[in-house]
Amino acid sequence: MRYTEIDNCEALRKALEAGGTLRHYAFQGMDFHPCMEAARQCRFSDCLFLGGFGVNELKDRMDETCSVFPRFHGLPFRAFRSGLYNAKSLYEGYRLGDPDSYKDCFDSKVYEHYLAAGKQTGDIKETLARILHDHSMNDGLDDFLRSFEERSIVGIMGGHGLSRCDESYRKVVMVSKKLTEGGSLMVSGGGPGAMEATHLGAWMAGRPDSEVEEALEMLAAAPSYKDRLWLETAFRVMERFPSPKYVSLGVPTWLYGHEPATPFATHIAKYFDNSTREDSILTISKGGVIYSPGSAGTMQEIFQDAVQNHYLSFGISSPMIFLGKDYWTNEIPVWPLLQDLVARGKYKNLRLTLTDDQEEVVDVITEFRSTTEPLVP
């Protein structure tokens, strides 16, 4: 039995207006107070109440099959979120024009709490709250992705330390922009560097390249995420070029909370558990993954992706594109290693491309999306 999920005020109002006995509903973080009169006219059977307000006042309207999960008190985050984050909710408390106000925003407060409680805490309340929060992220992710065809979802991986002034950063921006304009949903780890470039490209999709150059020039004032004005300049670009025509998905983690999440991602699934987060990015990117220059974390993702493709873990083998011939051949020789493993039969079902050409990247992804051939090579 699948529960009907209620995660916004309008859906709650409609459900309660139906009256009678409500069966198999999941109320996620809902405040019943504004519609308490209508709620008390209903009865509830086999319903889930996940956090929320006013739930205790409805207990006499519930039968024994209902389950109530109370709110967690004393935490800076909600264990039962009703949806994904965005720049507004994640950076609530940040004041444009005051870069030092980052310490007052929601994201910073959660990270401070995370460190104080311990990255690997033994506190059962904290552990349970984090798990339930990440479950809410999974649930929100499922809801968000439901409207996208699986081959349209494309990931970009790369280093968090990539400078906004680096040519590789610009390449990622332009690749992401063109793929977004072509109908792809761009996904990244949601942090700085190549990840930010992914979402900047999606944010600027539909605009002329001259405006992209203007945005890059504005961001160049703070090339690194360690710069005091890194977040400020991003918000200034968003102010200069508001109302993006397309969406993108960032999937950051508080494990790396010292690397701020990019506000250019219109939808943000931020996790406590990094392993869940990394697996999610690779799993949903069935339209292919593009690897721009990165280091240890990117290499981990490469081989995790290769394993998923080798075993056809999700019934699909999608493109693995390495952007930067010299980097992936000489500086970090992943490409020759993969080629050797494939030649010796140690890896199968891999769709590999090595290129410096932005257009080739777009062509490979576009061709894979449009093909009617089986998803296994």
Query: End of a domain among 21, 40, 69?
Result: 69
Instruction: Identify whether 79 is part of a domain.
Output: no
Same-domain pairing of 260 and 161: yes
pLDDT tens digits for 352-369?
A: 999 999 999 999 999 999
Q: What is the pLDDT of residue 371?
A: 81
Report pLDDT for 6: 96
Residue 351 and residue 371: Cα distance in Å, rounded? Answer: 14
Please give the C-alpha separations between residue 235 and each of 97, 99, 111, 215, 310, in angstroms, as whole numbers.
Answer: 10, 11, 20, 11, 41
Q: Residue 55: which domain range?
A: 4-69
Distance CA 374, CA 377 (A): 7
DSSP states of 289-353: EEE-S--HHHHHHHHHHHHHHHTTTTS---EEEEE-HHIIIIIS-HHHHHHHHHHTTSS-S-EEE
The pLDDT tens digits of the residues spanning 77-109 come to 999 998 999 999 999 999 999 999 999 999 999
Final residue of a structural domain among 138, 173, 197: 138
Does residue 92 sit within a domain? yes
Share of the chain above pLDDT 90, in %: 95
- pLDDT tens-digit series, residues 20-72: 999 999 999 999 999 999 999 999 999 999 999 999 999 999 999 999 999 99
pLDDT exceeds 80 at position 377: no
Claim to verify: residue 98 and residue 156 sit in the same structural domain: no
Please state, for a pLDDT cut of 70, what percent of the chain lies above it: 98
Sequence-distant (6+) residues with CB within 8 A of 60 are: none
pLDDT for the residue 372:
62
> In the structure, what pLDDT confidence band is assigned to residue 173 with cuts at 50, 70 and 90?
very high
Task: Classify residue 377: in a domain, yes or no.
Answer: no
pLDDT at residue 3 tops 90: yes
Alpha carbon of residue 261 to chain centroid: 10
Residues 314 and 297 placed together within one structural domain of the fold = yes
For residues 338 and 221, membership in a common domain is answered with yes
The pTM for the full model equals 0.94
Are residues 323 and 245 part of one domain?
Answer: yes
**Residue 96: strand, helix, or coil:** coil
- Predicted confidence at residue 375, as pLDDT, reads 55
Over residues 268-295, the mean pLDDT reads 95
Residues 274 and 197 in one domain: yes
Same domain, 128 and 207: no
| pLDDT tens track for 180-195 | 999 999 999 999 999 9
Per-residue pLDDT tens for 288-337?
999 999 999 999 999 999 999 999 998 889 999 999 999 999 999 999 99
Q: What is the CATH number of the domain that holds 281?
A: 3.40.50.450
Write out the two tokens for 90.
């994640």
301 part of a folded domain: yes
Query: Do 260 and 126 belong to one domain?
Result: no
Structural domains of the chain, count: 3
